[in-house]
Amino acid sequence: MSVDPGFWQGRRVLVTGHTGFKGAWLTLWLQAMGATVVGLSDGVPTSPSLFAAAQVPSGVTDLRVDVRDADAVDRAFAEHGPEIVVHMAAQSLVRRSYRDPRATYATNVMGTVNVLEAARSTSSVAAIVNVTSDKSYENRELGRAFTEDDPMGGHDPYSSSKGAAELVAAAYLRSYDLPLASARAGNVIGGGDFSEDRLLADVARHAMGGPPVPIRNPTAVRPWQHVLNPLSGYLELAQRLAAGEDVRGAWNFGPDPGDVQTVAWLVERLSELWPDELRWEIDPGPHPHEAGHLALDSTKARTELGWRPGWDLAQAMEAIVEWYAAFLADRHVRSVTIGQIERFSTLTAR
Ligand SMILES: NC(=O)c1ccc[n+]([C@@H]2O[C@H](COP(=O)([O-])OP(=O)(O)OC[C@H]3O[C@@H](n4cnc5c(N)ncnc54)[C@H](O)[C@@H]3O)[C@@H](O)[C@H]2O)c1
């Protein structure tokens, strides 16, 4: 693991989806390393948001662009001439994808085509990291971790749109020889997630006076990890691509096997750590299909990149509790967030 702050100092980085949960964390990390960040998103997806609470817009070029609008994406690239592109903009929610498959495919598949097209015609671009998901794999519930060679698929519109985005990236790589890597990360948790239907966001809503945390799939197994873990992998990939190393293609970034746990396990541990009583109840549904078992084999990232999860799940949960305590007290959210990034990055810095 070696994120090199010197590499990022003054680097022009275009982040799509910078207003979202992962995008806001990445943007703050890049700011902290002195990068010149151009963020491209269609809006701020939640209220509250990490983006607002940690004052992410101060210090970035904050563009409102829909990735479905190819001309607008082209213009943003032409105007800002990025060296590094991290593509994270997506309709990222499984349950919403059942309700609105058309917008999900348009954003996640054609949005990826539009970003790759713009990158292809921008001569300054030296590295592109395309962010997809552990859900992009065809999940036959075999109970084993996916490796990068497993076939793409997806049961629901979100998962299959991410599988399709991977196929798009693979075709662009073969056809146009771009400096392009695709990253598949598991269930990402951290302070500042307020998305609908996400477990940590439901916990936050409960802590803000909302109903007990609804537990939809208590036995579902997920590769939980702190958001900064996969982000360190994305930064590492970008550094190496820009240095001309052949790290093109697909990469898994998942936690150690001990951190692949059920939803019920995570909620129980979290309620032990949470300062106030955390009430939760099983939501009997009916629920749309979600994968029962998801795990990623990250041997390739470990052996070829030297990547490791910087924080294990216990450290992730401590950081999460610290973050929401600051948020709920309306105190120092930006400095707590940056403080966590600094703590984490001392582990991952070169
Ligand atoms: N959070 C997770 O657990 C997780 C797990 C695996 C993969 N991912 C992937 O990581 C990426 C970021 O996830 P997140 O959790 O931060 O999602 P998020 O929903 O919090 O943020 C999504 C971002 O994409 C932007 N966006 C959505 N539609 C857009 C459009 N049409 N045009 C421009 N911007 C648009 C939103 O404004 C926001 O900035 C996504 O690609 C997601 O699929 C997330």
What's the CA-to-centroid distance between 277 and ligand 1, angstroms? 30
Q: How far is CA 192 from each of CA 30, 138, 323, rounded to the nearest angstrom?
A: 17, 30, 8
> What pLDDT is recorded for position 1?
53
- The b/e string for 176-194 (b: 16+ C-beta within 10 A; e otherwise) is eebbbbbbbbbbbbbbbbb
> What pLDDT is recorded for position 292?
76
Q: Of all atoms in ligand 1, which is nearest to the CA of residue 87?
A: 41
Cβ atoms of 240 and 350 within 8 Å: the answer is: no
> What pLDDT is recorded for position 349?
67
Closest CA to 264 of 276, 278, 254: 278
Q: How far is CA 193 from each of CA 88, 294, 320, rounded to the nearest angstrom?
A: 15, 21, 10
In short, whether 340's Cβ falls inside 6 Å of ligand 1 is no
Q: Walk along the chain (350 residues) and give the pLDDT tens digit of each residue.
A: 589 999 999 999 999 999 999 999 999 999 999 999 999 999 999 999 999 999 999 989 999 999 999 999 999 999 999 999 999 999 999 999 999 999 999 999 999 999 999 999 999 999 999 999 999 999 888 888 999 999 999 999 999 999 999 999 999 999 999 999 999 998 899 999 999 988 889 988 898 889 999 998 899 888 899 999 999 999 999 999 999 999 999 999 999 988 989 999 999 999 999 988 888 888 888 888 877 787 899 999 999 999 999 999 999 999 999 999 999 998 899 999 999 999 999 887 65
In short, whether 92's Cβ falls inside 6 Å of ligand 1 is yes
H or E element, residue 105: helix 101-105
83: how many CB neighbours lie within 10 A of its CB?
18
Any alpha helices (H) in 48-93, and if so which ranges?
50-53, 70-80
In short, whether 230's Cβ falls inside 6 Å of ligand 1 is no
Q: Of all atoms in ligand 1, which is nearest to the CA of residue 66?
A: 32
| 290 contact partners, CB below 8 Å, separation of at least 6 | 94, 156, 216, 217, 220
Q: How far is CA 55 from each of CA 5, 28, 145, 241, 317, rounded to the nearest angstrom?
A: 21, 9, 37, 30, 23
In short, whether 42's Cβ falls inside 6 Å of ligand 1 is yes
| 258 contact partners, CB below 8 Å, separation of at least 6 | 312, 313
> What pLDDT is recorded for position 350?
59
Which residue's alpha carbon is at the smallest distance from atom 19 of ligand 1? 92
In short, whether 66's Cβ falls inside 6 Å of ligand 1 is yes
- The b/e string for 267-299 (b: 16+ C-beta within 10 A; e otherwise) is beebeeebeeebebeeeeeeeeebbebbbbbbe
Among 22, 158, 189, 228, name the best residue to mutate to test ligand 1's pocket (greatest count of ligand atoms within 8 A of Cβ): 22
